[in-house]
């Protein structure tokens, strides 16, 4: 089985941030961070398997969606496979910070190292 690519949109973000910034003549600056995956688990409310990264110096962390399809209940064996595959791995997140503090961060790319 191929490795799952981390398909994430931690929080569903709109493209309005980027288009609004470009319309104002201000190009959003992309940033990258390298974080380590700390834990992978099934999120009951959404039905997706997600990965949490370690916290940075400011206490921020990423919640990354690991699976594309939601399931009604957790498969314990599948959870174990995902934990073995992702726990302790490094991930590089490319993102754009919001122009306004009320907006969410827009993730552009995630690569597993």
Q: What is the pLDDT of residue 90?
A: 95
pTM of this structure: 0.66
pLDDT in tens, 53-79: 999 888 889 999 999 999 999 999 999
| Residue 99: DSSP 8-state | S
**What band does 112 get if pLDDT is binned at 50, 70 and 90?**
confident
Residues 6 or more apart in contact with residue 42 via CB below 8 angstroms: 48, 49, 71, 74, 75, 79
Compute the distance between CA of residue 107 and CA of residue 11 in angstroms, rounded to an integer: 9
pLDDT in tens, 1-53: 343 333 333 333 333 444 444 555 566 678 888 999 999 999 999 999 999 99
Q: What is the pLDDT of residue 26?
A: 60
**Domain boundaries along the sequence of the chain:** 16-112
């Amino acid at each position: 089985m191929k490795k799952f690519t981390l398909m994430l949109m931690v929080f569903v973000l709109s493209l309005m941030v980027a288009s609004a910034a470009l319309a104002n003549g201000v190009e959003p600056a992309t940033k990258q961070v390298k974080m380590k995956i700390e834990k992978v688990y099934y999120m009951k409310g959404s039905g997706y398997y997600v990965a949490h990264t370690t916290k940075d110096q400011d206490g921020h962390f990423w919640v990354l969606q690991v699976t594309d399809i939601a399931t009604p209940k957790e498969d314990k064996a599948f959870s174990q496979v995902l934990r073995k595959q992702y726990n302790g791995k490094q991930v590089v997140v490319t993102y754009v910070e919001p122009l306004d503090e009320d907006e969410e961060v827009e993730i552009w790319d995630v690569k597993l190292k």
